Amino acid sequence: MLNQAGPKQKILIIDDVTENILILIDLLKSHYITFFAKDGKKGIELAKSKDPDLILLDIIMPEIDGYQVCKILKESKNTQNIPVIFISAQSEIIDKIKAFTSGGVDYITKPFEAEEVLARVNTHISIRCLQNQIILNEKMAALGQLIAGIAHEINTPLGVIKASIGNIENALQNSILELPKLFQTIEKELQHDFFDLLKKAQNNKEIISTKEERKLKRSIKEFLDSQNISESDTVSGTLIKMGITDDISLFINLLKSKDNIFILKTAYDLFIQKSNSQNIKSAVERVSKIVFALKSYSRYDENATKTLNNITDGIDLVLTIYQNELKRGILVVKNYTDLPEIWCYSDELTQVWTNLIHNAIYAMGGVGELKISTFKQDNFVVVEINDSGHGIPDNIKDRIFEPFFTTKPTGEGSGLGLDIARKIINRHQGKIEFESIPGKTIFRVFLPLEGE
């Protein structure tokens, strides 16, 4: 069905006979935007610059014939998906076979009937519109999943930042009131102990469990009681919060002070400011990493030129994007070996890793083990993506690379992912293979090591 409500689709006519061009323009102009070229070279240039929705192509032309034009168009990333209908006086079966072999989607024999041309053009334009819509739906579904995960990933550090700012504000307000009183109260010889206590707390990096915390608190309280320290329960609790669990005897004189609770509270408020500032720094770094990953993920190289890249960088980029889904119940095991950089279309390979990792997460239902290995085999870099999911049934193993074939429920995938992945790998002169049994599915991607 034609999209009459939106902009008209564009049709490129490539024919060296002016009369044929005029007839086709007159036939199509009420439904489509038409433009033309009178030789193959100019036709290729217009196809790349105008991005038509369909091409009507003659075969017998000077310099470059229609077969060659079609092959060149299908070898270019910018034009390979444009449907080509051959219109030619050549009527032999061999001519039609050559047309389809070179990438054509249909063949009309001259002299043609106007109704036939219009019907076939309408059909292939409708098919292209449907394919574009399916691809758009696939992209939007994937985008929605990514946005949900990224929103969660960003909200987590933002929550840390918000909470940390509140803690700093309270602690700072307390410190403004406490510090003048502290230096009026604390004996001069104990001031060094106070700053040593604060320094030890700020340098502490150890994270302990709740069970370990209870055990340490009992031990510290027993030590404090043996030293006749007042308020031993409160003191031991504050020391634990500051991460001071050993070498407590170094601060024994400070803790024996009659103002020990006030001194510790002042130290704790200063510690909170430092600790929460570090939390904010870590959270900002986390958000920055996510933003960088998204920018790298969405970057598109219009020139589509190969560059030297480290394969694992692209894999790690995708793992960062999917971290929210992975951390819920999937153990990621990386077995990377040192490999040379290879010439590749890095942005396109990112799509491959995205598809394979997303499929693995889906197959495991969000719970399991994902192993990613890289190694060299003969003249190839090999990437293995191994999941512990339900596996691929034997009766569909021959079909998983078919366009639009999917076992996912409606709305969760169109079945284009593996087909696109295979095309990208073929573009690299590589190959993809898999093996699968229940509980273990391995996809292997082979990429050549040869230079540019």
- Kindly report, residue by residue over 1-25, the tens digit of the pLDDT: 444 445 789 999 999 999 999 999 9
What residue spans define the domains of the chain?
10-112, 154-284, 299-448
Q: Any idea what DSSP says for residue 45?
A: H
Q: Residue 448: beta bridge partners?
A: 380
pLDDT digits (tens, 9 = 90+) for 281-336: 878 877 776 676 566 555 545 456 788 999 999 999 888 878 878 888 899 999 99
Neighbours of 390 (CB within 10 A): 15
CATH code: domain 299-448 is 3.30.565.10
Q: Residue 383: beta bridge partners?
A: 374, 445
Q: Residue 452: its pLDDT value, please?
A: 47
Q: Residue 306: its pLDDT value, please?
A: 84
User: Under 8 Å CB-to-CB from 361, ≥6 apart: which residues?
Assistant: 322, 325, 326, 330, 370, 387
- Angle, CA of 364, 352 and 379, to the nearest 5°: 110
Dihedral sign computed on CA atoms, order 345, 347, 348, 350: positive
Torsion, Cα 337 444 77 343, to 10 degrees, reads 20
CATH code: domain 10-112 is 3.40.50.2300
Low-confidence ranges of the chain (pLDDT < 50): 1-5, 300, 302, 410-414, 452
pTM for this one?
Answer: 0.44
Exposure b/e, 243-256, CB count within 10 A at least 16 = b: bbbeebeebeebbe
- Pick from 275, 437, 418: nearest CA to 351: 418
